C-alpha cells in the first residue's frame, strides 16, 4: 500500500483543526436576481443598498466582495449620495451630455434591420423598437456594475454612499444581479 507524505504545515493545520483551533473556511458564490418592477419615465434612481445588505446577510459571507450588475443596456449602476437635489442635478447633466432629441445613427430605424426571426419581420420590429441611443451612451459612460468590499459581514460603503440603479430609458420592467463572493 503506498504511503502519503504530508508536509509539516499541513500536519499542523490538521492537528489544530482536530483541537478546534482552526475553523475550516468555505468560499461562497451566491447570486440572485432582484426584480425592481416597472421604473418611472425618463431617468430614475433606485437605491439598491438594502437589497445588497440583505444579499450579504443571506449569504453569510464575512469577508469578500459583492458585485452589483445592471442586466440591461440602457441602465447603469453607480455609487453616490442618494439626495433628491443631487439626483435632479444628475438628470439635468445627463440631458446635456446625451440629449434624447439629438440625431443618433442607432435611432435611424429605417436603416436598421431587426433580428432575422422577428415575428412580422423588420416592420414589426421597428414598430416596437424605441429611439433610445442617448440611454445606451449614458449607460456606457456611467457604467453597468459596481463591486463593494465586504468586511466582518457588512458592506464598506461610506457614510453618505448608496449603490443605485439608474434607469435611463423608462418606464420598463427591470432587474439587477447581485453576487456575493467570499468566506463565511
Q: In this structure, is residue 16 part of a structural domain?
A: no
Q: In this structure, is residue 160 part of a structural domain?
A: yes
E-strand spans in the chain?
27-38, 42-47, 63-70, 75-80, 145-151, 154-155, 162-170, 173-183
Q: In this structure, is residue 5 part of a structural domain?
A: no
CA distance linking residue 95 with residue 82, whole number of Å: 19
Q: In this structure, is residue 9 part of a structural domain?
A: no
| Coil/strand/helix, residue 62 | coil
Range of the domain at 109: 26-183
Per DSSP, the residues of 8-41 read: HHHHHHHHHHHTT-SPPP-EEEEEEEEEEEEPPS
Q: In this structure, is residue 33 part of a structural domain?
A: yes
Closest alpha carbon to 77 in 139, 33, 135, 133: 139
End-to-end alpha carbon distance in the chain: 38
Please give the chain's pLDDT, 184 residues, in tens. Answer: 555 566 666 666 666 666 665 555 789 999 999 999 999 999 999 999 999 999 999 999 999 999 999 999 999 999 999 999 999 999 999 999 999 999 999 999 999 999 999 999 999 999 999 999 999 999 999 999 999 999 999 999 999 999 999 999 999 999 999 999 999 9
Instruction: State how many domains the chain has.
Output: 1
Sign of CA dihedral 92, 97, 103, 107: negative
| Predicted model pTM | 0.83
Residue 68's CATH number: 2.60.120.460
Q: In this structure, is residue 10 part of a structural domain?
A: no
Q: In this structure, is residue 73 part of a structural domain?
A: yes
Q: In this structure, is residue 150 part of a structural domain?
A: yes
Amino acid at each position: 500500500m503506498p504511503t502519503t507524505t504530508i508536509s509539516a504545515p499541513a500536519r499542523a493545520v490538521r492537528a489544530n483543526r482536530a483541537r478546534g483551533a482552526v475553523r475550516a473556511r468555505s468560499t461562497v458564490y451566491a447570486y440572485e436576481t432582484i426584480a425592481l418592477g416597472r421604473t418611472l419615465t425618463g431617468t430614475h434612481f433606485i437605491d439598491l443598498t438594502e437589497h445588497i445588505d440583505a444579499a450579504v446577510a443571506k449569504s453569510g459571507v464575512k469577508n469578500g466582495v459583492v458585485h452589483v450588475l445592471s442586466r440591461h443596456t440602457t441602465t447603469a449602476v453607480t455609487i453616490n449620495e442618494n439626495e433628491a437635489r443631487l439626483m435632479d442635478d444628475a438628470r439635468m447633466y445627463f440631458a446635456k451630455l446625451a440629449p434624447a432629441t439629438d440625431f443618433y445613427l442607432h435611432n435611424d430605424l429605417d436603416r436598421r434591420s431587426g433580428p432575422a426571426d422577428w415575428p412580422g419581420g423588420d416592420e414589426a420590429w421597428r414598430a416596437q423598437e424605441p429611439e433610445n441611443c442617448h440611454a445606451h451612451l449614458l449607460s456606457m459612460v456611467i457604467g453597468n456594475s459596481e463591486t463593494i468590499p465586504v468586511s466582518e459581514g457588512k458592506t464598506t460603503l461610506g457614510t453618505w454612499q448608496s449603490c443605485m440603479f439608474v434607469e435611463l430609458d423608462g418606464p420598463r420592467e427591470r432587474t439587477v444581479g447581485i453576487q456575493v463572493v467570499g468566506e463565511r
